[in-house]
Amino acid sequence: MVSETSGGALSHLRSFRLLDIAVFDVVATLLAAVIAGRMVGVSSPRGMGIAFIILLLIGIMVHWALRVDTKLNFYLGLSNDPRQMPLTDDTDVTDDTTGSSGNSSEKPH
Protein backbone atom coordinates (compact mmCIF):
# COMPACT_ATOMS: atom_id res chain seq x y z
CA MET A 1 0.00 0.00 0.00
CA VAL A 2 1.27 3.45 -0.89
CA SER A 3 1.20 6.08 1.82
CA GLU A 4 0.11 9.64 1.16
CA THR A 5 3.68 10.93 1.43
CA SER A 6 5.07 8.45 -1.10
CA GLY A 7 2.12 9.14 -3.41
CA GLY A 8 2.92 12.82 -3.18
CA ALA A 9 6.58 12.13 -3.87
CA LEU A 10 5.69 10.03 -6.91
CA SER A 11 3.36 12.75 -8.18
CA HIS A 12 6.18 15.25 -7.72
CA LEU A 13 8.64 13.05 -9.62
CA ARG A 14 6.12 12.59 -12.43
CA SER A 15 5.47 16.33 -12.67
CA PHE A 16 8.63 16.94 -14.75
CA ARG A 17 7.52 16.56 -18.37
CA LEU A 18 8.90 16.62 -21.89
CA LEU A 19 6.29 16.76 -24.66
CA ASP A 20 3.81 16.32 -21.80
CA ILE A 21 5.21 12.84 -21.04
CA ALA A 22 6.55 12.22 -17.53
CA VAL A 23 10.36 12.10 -17.72
CA PHE A 24 10.41 9.92 -14.60
CA ASP A 25 8.31 7.23 -16.33
CA VAL A 26 10.67 7.10 -19.32
CA VAL A 27 13.77 6.97 -17.11
CA ALA A 28 12.20 4.27 -14.92
CA THR A 29 11.38 2.23 -18.04
CA LEU A 30 14.95 2.65 -19.27
CA LEU A 31 16.31 1.54 -15.89
CA ALA A 32 13.97 -1.48 -15.94
CA ALA A 33 15.23 -2.33 -19.44
CA VAL A 34 18.84 -2.21 -18.24
CA ILE A 35 18.05 -4.42 -15.24
CA ALA A 36 15.98 -6.88 -17.29
CA GLY A 37 18.64 -6.96 -20.01
CA ARG A 38 21.39 -7.76 -17.54
CA MET A 39 19.26 -10.46 -15.91
CA VAL A 40 19.01 -12.28 -19.24
CA GLY A 41 22.63 -11.65 -20.21
CA VAL A 42 22.18 -8.74 -22.63
CA SER A 43 24.78 -6.01 -22.17
CA SER A 44 25.12 -4.39 -25.59
CA PRO A 45 23.59 -0.96 -26.19
CA ARG A 46 21.57 -2.42 -29.07
CA GLY A 47 20.15 -5.13 -26.80
CA MET A 48 19.29 -2.56 -24.13
CA GLY A 49 17.56 -0.44 -26.77
CA ILE A 50 15.50 -3.42 -27.89
CA ALA A 51 14.60 -4.21 -24.26
CA PHE A 52 13.57 -0.56 -23.78
CA ILE A 53 11.34 -0.64 -26.86
CA ILE A 54 9.78 -3.93 -25.76
CA LEU A 55 9.00 -2.50 -22.31
CA LEU A 56 7.52 0.65 -23.88
CA LEU A 57 5.31 -1.50 -26.12
CA ILE A 58 4.19 -3.57 -23.13
CA GLY A 59 3.35 -0.36 -21.25
CA ILE A 60 1.41 0.99 -24.23
CA MET A 61 -0.58 -2.24 -24.58
CA VAL A 62 -1.32 -2.55 -20.86
CA HIS A 63 -2.54 1.05 -20.60
CA TRP A 64 -4.64 0.56 -23.76
CA ALA A 65 -6.11 -2.74 -22.50
CA LEU A 66 -6.99 -1.24 -19.11
CA ARG A 67 -8.34 1.91 -20.80
CA VAL A 68 -5.95 4.18 -18.94
CA ASP A 69 -5.48 7.34 -20.98
CA THR A 70 -1.82 8.31 -21.32
CA LYS A 71 -0.22 11.07 -23.36
CA LEU A 72 1.88 8.58 -25.33
CA ASN A 73 -1.19 6.51 -26.19
CA PHE A 74 -2.96 9.76 -27.14
CA TYR A 75 -0.09 10.67 -29.48
CA LEU A 76 -0.37 7.18 -31.01
CA GLY A 77 -4.13 7.56 -31.46
CA LEU A 78 -4.99 4.84 -28.94
CA SER A 79 -6.66 6.91 -26.21
CA ASN A 80 -8.17 10.24 -25.32
CA ASP A 81 -6.06 13.14 -24.12
CA PRO A 82 -5.55 12.47 -20.39
CA ARG A 83 -5.45 16.22 -19.68
CA GLN A 84 -8.99 16.76 -21.02
CA MET A 85 -11.97 16.17 -18.78
CA PRO A 86 -14.35 13.73 -20.51
CA LEU A 87 -17.98 14.75 -20.83
CA THR A 88 -20.43 12.20 -19.52
CA ASP A 89 -24.10 11.74 -20.36
CA ASP A 90 -25.14 11.56 -16.71
CA THR A 91 -24.05 15.08 -15.78
CA ASP A 92 -26.70 17.16 -14.07
CA VAL A 93 -27.04 20.45 -15.89
CA THR A 94 -28.50 23.18 -13.70
CA ASP A 95 -29.89 26.46 -14.99
CA ASP A 96 -28.39 28.97 -12.56
CA THR A 97 -31.08 31.59 -13.19
CA THR A 98 -34.07 29.43 -12.29
CA GLY A 99 -32.49 26.81 -10.08
CA SER A 100 -34.12 24.00 -12.05
CA SER A 101 -32.11 21.02 -13.08
CA GLY A 102 -32.12 18.94 -16.23
CA ASN A 103 -33.65 16.02 -14.35
CA SER A 104 -36.64 14.62 -16.24
CA SER A 105 -38.07 13.08 -13.06
CA GLU A 106 -39.18 16.48 -11.78
CA LYS A 107 -42.81 17.38 -12.40
CA PRO A 108 -43.68 20.88 -13.62
CA HIS A 109 -45.58 23.08 -11.15
Q: Strand (E) positions, the chain? A: 17-18, 21-22
pLDDT class for 1, splitting at 50, 70, 90? very low
Note the pTM of the prediction, 2 decimals. Answer: 0.66
Residue 91 lies in a domain: no
The count of structural domains within the chain is 1
Residue 23 lies in a domain: yes
* pLDDT over 70 percentage in the chain: 71
Range of the domain at 50: 14-75
Is the separation of the CB atoms in 30 and 15 below 8 Å?
A: no
For the cut 80, the answer to whether the pLDDT of residue 22 exceeds it is: yes
pLDDT class for 8, splitting at 50, 70, 90? confident
Residue 92 lies in a domain: no
Residue 25 lies in a domain: yes
Residue 85 lies in a domain: no
Name the helix (H) or strand (E) containing 48. helix 45-65
Residue 82 lies in a domain: no
pLDDT (tens digit, 9 = 90+) per residue, 48-76?
999 999 999 999 999 999 999 999 999 99
Please give the pLDDT value at position 88.
62
Residue 107 lies in a domain: no
